[in-house]
Amino acid sequence: MKALIIDDEPLARDIIREYLTSHPSIEVMQECSDGFEGIKAIQQHQPDLIFLDIQMPKINGFEMLELAEYVPKVIFATAFDEYAVKAFEAHAVDYLLKPFSRQRFDAAVQKLMAEGPSREQVPAAMEAAAKSPDQSNRIVVKDGGKIRIIPITQVQYLEAADDYIKIHTADGSFLKKKTMQFFEETLSAAQFIRIHRSYIVNANLITRIDPYEKEGHLALLTTGARLPVSKAGYARLRDALGI
């Protein structure tokens, strides 16, 4: 079984490697000290299992998984992260609280090898954890081969595009595989408003709202973009802007 250890603290990686000596069936392909390395290593080694820290430089463990080619079996390890722990517990994902004992580690590995969180459990936990302050402040996307971290303040509007969401910023637009509902829930409702089935807009950028056809409206942004506003969206917009 191929495995990766992804943690920014060298000693934290050491301890996992040490505990793994009693599991000869698991081979550590690489140790990574941040999420970027992690994404590359997942692509390169196609591991069956990863040991993943949550708090890491630049992007956290959940964001790394969002960007990874696929989600292998994951054993999360965190010292203290209320949001993450809540998410794990809500979705029956096993996790290790640092510092952990060898017995606890062995139990987690055995449980995972026996059944393992199914494909749905880890992504569900990821979605739940995305409500943490960290992730509601930024969106990480893949931009060609590179990874881009978009501060929420730079997002102009979001547009639904099939299974993806198109994130429009001053530097261009980026695709991310998420749902409109996800962003509606995670982004600050005061700043981002769902004005249409397919549009969420940064309310700070709206300069004008014009009537359009019957019952509809058009929102004009400072950037020049014109976005359709549905009837329900118009009500939400009026609520949020206090008009």
Partner 1 sequence: MAISPYNRKFAIAVATGWIIWASLGYRLLADFGAGSLAALSDSMLSNALLFGGCFLISNNMRYYLPGKEKYWYVLLLGVIVTLLWMTMLRLSLPFLLSDDKQYVAEFYASLSIRMAVGFLVITSSTLLSLIWYTQQQEQDQAARKQETDQAARDAELLQLQNRLQPHFLFNSLNSVSALTISDPGKARDMIEQLSAFLRGSLQKEHRQWSTLEEELDYLRLYMGIEKVRFGYRLQTEINCDESTLQMRLPNTILQPVVENAIKFGLYDTLGEVCIRLTAQNSNGFLQIEVSNPFDQVTAVPRKGAGFGLASVRRRLFLLFARQDLLQTEMTDTLFITRILIPQI
Site residues (vs partner 1, CB under 8 A): 8-12, 14-15, 18, 33-34, 36, 55-58, 79-81, 97-100, 133-134, 137-138, 149, 151-154
Cβ closer to partner 1: 10 or 224?
A: 10
Cβ–Cβ under 8 Å, residues 117 and 92: yes
Give yes or no for a contact between 78 and 98, defined as CB atoms under 8 angstroms apart: yes
What number of other Cβ atoms are within 10 A of residue 102's Cβ?
A: 11
Measured from the CB of residue 93, what is the shortest distance to partner 1 in angstroms? 19
Q: How far is the CB of 184 from partner 1 (least distance, A)?
A: 19
Residue 212 pairs with which residues in a beta bridge?
216
Cis, peptide link before residue 57, omega less than 30° from 0: no
What is the spatial distance between Cα 171 and Cα 214, in angstroms, rounded to a whole number? Answer: 34
Q: Min. distance of Cβ 150 from partner 1 in angstroms? A: 9
Of 89 and 210, nearer to partner 1 (C-beta) is 89
By beta-carbon proximity to partner 1, the closer residue of 37 and 94 is: 37
Residue 148 Cβ vs partner 1, minimum distance, rounded to whole Å: 9
CB closer to partner 1 out of 54 and 195: 54
Cβ atoms 230, 216 nearer than 8 A: yes
